[in-house]
Structure formats: structure tokens, C-alpha cells
């Protein structure tokens, strides 16, 4: 079984794979966010672009996004909270942490993404401006920040 990179523990083809290949439409903001994470892990920037609306799409540089996505190793996704706006059911939010390794350094992106329901589907419309990723500090014998449960010195620490 080929598990989905989004961390759902479900087979890829019936999880995010069905959204990315167009055979299904994500029914919730969380499902869309997970599929976008998976698309980034595959450097599938066409899907990322297709699932955006508003200023993120206007300012999106597909070439730069593809270079960046190919240059990192994706380590995992943790959804902290997913909810819909109480006053507007066409707005949804997902807070998550995406862990990755860039230039041999473990990093993380912590974001609250905003989604809008338009024309029968969800779209990414905004997110807190991600801060520049900084290396996660860990002592040699501490658990690795990538979440592997190994010691840092036996996992992501560059020797």
C-alpha cells in the first residue's frame, strides 16, 4: 500500500491522489490543504496553482515555487486545527505545521490558511505570511525536530 504523504494513513490513490488527478473534489478545507501539501511534496505546481484564488494566485510565481518544492525534502504534515467561519459557511481555515529539510537543515512552516468555497469547490485564498524558515535548534541527543523519533545526531544532523 502506498500511503498518502499528507499523513492521513490512507492509500494515496483514494486520498489526495484522487484530488490531484481530478477524479474527485476535496469536500473540506482540510482535505484541500492536505492535497496541496501532497502536491508540493511532488512539486506538482499545476495543482497548487489550480487550487488558488485571489491575491495568492496573483502573486504566485510557478517557476520559483517548483524550484523550491524540488529543493526540499518533505518530512510530514500535522494539522493543528480545521474549522469553518461561524458567520460565513463559505470560509474555512486550517492551521498546520509542515516539516521539511532544506539545505540539510530541518525546518517547519506554521501557517493558518484561509479557504473560500466558490463554484462548488474550495480554494486557497490567503495565509499568514510565512516567516522565513529558520533552522530548528536541537542538541545532538535530543529527539530530531523532523518528527522521526530518532536522536538528532542519528537523523538530520549534518556531520
Q: Which residue has the cell 517547519?
A: 108
Q: Which CATH class is domain 12-154?
A: alpha beta
Q: What is the reported pTM?
A: 0.80
Which residue in 61, 57, 56, 22 sits closest to 39, CA to CA?
Answer: 22
Which residue in 54, 114, 56, 126 sits closest to 90, CA to CA?
Answer: 114
- Mean pLDDT along residues 88-116: 93
Rounded to whole angstroms, the Cα distance separating 81 from 112 reads 9
Rounded to whole angstroms, the Cα distance separating 2 from 85 reads 34
What tens digit of pLDDT does each residue of 119-149 get?
Answer: 999 999 998 754 555 666 677 788 887 777 8
Which residue in 72, 64, 142 sits closest to 105, CA to CA?
Answer: 72
Report which DSSP code applies to 3. B
Q: For residue 53, count other CB atoms closer than 10 A to its CB.
A: 16
Dig out the grid coordinates for 111 from the structure. 501557517
What tens digit of pLDDT does each residue of 17-31 get?
Answer: 999 999 999 999 999
Rounded to whole angstroms, the Cα distance separating 58 from 60 reads 6
Amino acid at each position: 500500500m502506498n500511503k498518502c504523504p499528507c499523513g492521513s494513513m490512507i492509500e494515496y490513490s483514494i486520498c489526495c491522489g484522487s484530488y490531484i488527478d481530478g477524479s474527485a473534489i476535496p469536500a473540506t478545507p482540510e482535505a484541500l490543504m492536505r492535497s496541496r501539501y501532497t502536491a508540493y511534496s511532488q512539486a506538482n505546481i499545476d495543482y497548487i496553482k489550480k487550487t488558488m484564488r485571489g491575491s495568492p494566485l496573483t502573486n504566485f510565481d510557478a517557476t520559483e515555487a517548483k524550484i523550491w518544492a524540488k529543493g526540499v525534502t518533505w518530512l510530514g504534515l500535522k494539522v493543528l486545527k480545521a474549522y469553518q467561519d461561524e458567520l460565513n459557511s463559505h470560509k474555512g481555515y486550517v492551521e498546520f505545521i509542515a516539516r521539511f529539510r532544506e539545505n540539510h537543515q530541518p525546518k517547519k512552516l506554521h501557517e493558518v490558511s484561509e479557504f473560500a468555497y466558490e463554484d462548488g469547490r474550495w480554494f486557497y485564498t490567503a495565509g499568514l505570511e510565512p516567516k522565513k524558515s529558520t533552522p530548528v535548534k536541537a542538541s545532538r541527543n535530543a529527539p530530531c525536530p523532523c518528527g522521526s523519533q530518532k536522536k538528532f545526531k542519528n537523523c538530520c544532523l549534518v556531520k
